[in-house]
Amino acid sequence: MQAAVRHAFLFACALVAVLGLLATRAHAAEPARVTVVDPFVELHSGAGRGYPVLEVVEHGSEVEVIEQRTTWYRLRTKRGSEGWAAREQMLRTLTPAGETFREDVETLDDFQAHRWEMGAWLGDYEGSALMGLYGAWRFVPTLTAELSAQQAVGRAADSLVVDVSLAGHPFPGSRYAPYVAVGTGLVQTEPSTVLVGANRREDQTLSVAGGLQAWVSRAFVLRLEYRHYVLLTSREEHENLDTWKAGLAVFF
């Protein structure tokens, strides 16, 4: 019963965290209206200067900000036509309150400079379903400290896995950033009740990992990771375990 409650609790935490963050970002993305103060704003057919200009919005016109893609914004005019405007022109527009338009949506530059990150994992732990949460702090551009708690649910046993890791980011300026990590932690294994004579165990772990962190859009980060564990058991031989995980996170 205790194991079932813990599984449900951790899974609910992961869902609440991810859905709550999604809701926060969705709220931040509500369309904003701005007024053009430059002589004109060019609306391109795509998010880049290589795309043709579809329309020119004149001084004093009001437009709706729909979407941001890197340094470009998709705008909708009062007539309903849409196009993409460059960031430098958007920064010279005014909100209904008479203030200069502020960027509310994160860009690749923000991803490269972010300090904090939190998200949820789903994956495989030696054939068992794995789910969990993690938080990370980037104290220098190339190094991150991370804490994660994960629950593995299997037929023979359930495991609670807690990791503390140090990750190195050799290419911190890239949108697709590979990383390597070393860590330590604890694995608490609770055998199924059908296994007579099996006892609950708690083992220290050492681990190495490799993964890929990718900026998806806005403040969202996708992570893929492989981690190899060595369980420092009290028996003659240590155990080796492998995990594969995929995660979605937000940075700030």
What is the rounded CA–CA span in Å between residue 147 and residue 34?
A: 41
Poorest-confidence range of 43-52, 78-87, 96-105, 199-208?
A: 96-105
pLDDT per position as a tens digit, 34-89: 889 888 899 999 988 899 999 999 999 999 888 877 788 889 998 899 999 998 88
**Per-residue pLDDT for 4 more than 50?**
no
| Contact by Cβ (8 Å): 201, 223 | no
The secondary structure of residue 99, as a DSSP letter, is P
Phi, psi of 15 (to 5 degrees): -65, -45
Rounded Cα–Cα distance for residues 191 and 183 (Å):
25
Single pTM value for the model: 0.65
Q: In whole angstroms, give the CA distance from residue 188 to residue 3.
A: 11
**H or E element, residue 15:** helix 2-28
Would you give the DSSP letter of residue 187? E
Q: Note every long-range contact of 128-133, with CB atoms under 8 Å and residues 24 or more positions apart, other chains counting.
A: 128/152, 128/153, 128/154, 128/157, 128/158, 128/159, 129/153, 129/154, 130/161, 130/243, 130/245, 131/10, 131/11, 131/14, 132/10, 132/14, 132/161, 133/10, 133/13, 133/14, 133/17
Tell me the mean pLDDT in the region 209-216.
92
pLDDT tens digits, residue range 23-34? Answer: 455 444 455 788
* Residue 219 amino acid letter: A
d(CA 33, CA 39): 18
Query: Where is pLDDT greater, at 100 or 159?
Result: 159
Q: How far apart are CA 163 and CA 184, in angstroms?
A: 6
Nearest to 162 by CA among 134, 121, 191: 134
Domain annotation for the chain: domains and CATH numbers: 30-104 (2.30.30.40), 111-251 (2.40.160.20)
